[in-house]
Structure 1
Amino acid sequence: MNEIKTKIKTFLARFFGNHDLEQDEDIFALGFVNSMFAMQLVLFVEQEFQITIENEDLEFENFRTINSISNLVERKSTVLAPR
């Protein structure tokens, strides 16, 4: 697991108790996510990875799994990377 996924899993684990979340497990389908948690997740991603989540990024698909969140971070970080 890469560093981005490890940080995301560590953050999510604080809220999911004893559930060992898999990288491709749907956190919405598991019933762990409410609107307040979704806002906390977006804020965590922005602060932890120094990226800005735009309105067009706020789709369930971008936040459904550890893998999808990691992919979003990588896409946003690539855009910001100096050329």
Structure 2
Amino acid sequence: MTVSPQSTIQQELVDFLHSRTKKVWEEDTDLFASGGLSSLFAMEIVVHLEKTYDVSVRGKDLRLDNFRTVTSMATLVRRLQGAGDAGE
């Protein structure tokens, strides 16, 4: 499996969030605290990550902290792609 660069994943996620919310998001903004994510939208993001990056998000990986920021989501994707133990 190809491991995507962190910066590439982050930019793609910022673009995805912008396309869905019409807001500009910083990579370290707490998406839940700022009202950017609901539990339903978080599940949409899980599906997006799985389809876009060919990863499977299951079990302990579904923790809110893995989806709190763009950076944390990118770290999760890289770990699931086999880039190491980042974000555990």
Please give the range of the TM-score, normalised by the shorter of the 2 chains: 0.7 to 0.9
State the one-letter code of the partner of 1:53: V
User: Residue 16 of structure 1: CA displacement?
Assistant: 2.4
Partner of 1:63: 67
Higher helix share: 1
What TM-score results when the alignment is normalised by the length of structure 2? Answer: 0.81
Q: Distance in 2 between matches of 1:49 and 1:41?
A: 12
Partner of 1:15: 20
Match of 1:45 among 49, 57, 67: 49
User: Residue 34 of structure 1: CA displacement?
Assistant: 1.6
| Consecutive unaligned residues in structure 2, runs of 5 or more | 1-5, 84-88
User: Residue 27 of structure 1: CA displacement?
Assistant: 0.5
State the one-letter code of the partner of 2:43: M
What TM-score results when the alignment is normalised by the length of structure 1? Answer: 0.86
Given that residues 67 and 73 in structure 2 are in contact (C-alpha distance below 8 angstroms), is that contact kept between their aligned partners in structure 1? yes
Residues 1:31 and 2:8 aligned together: no
Aligned length: 78
User: Residue 35 of structure 1: CA displacement?
Assistant: 2.0
User: Residue 31 of structure 1: CA displacement?
Assistant: 0.9
Q: Distance in 1 between matches of 2:29 and 2:39?
A: 19
| Consecutive unaligned residues in structure 1, runs of 5 or more | none
Report % sequence identity: 32
Q: CA RMSD in A?
A: 1.4
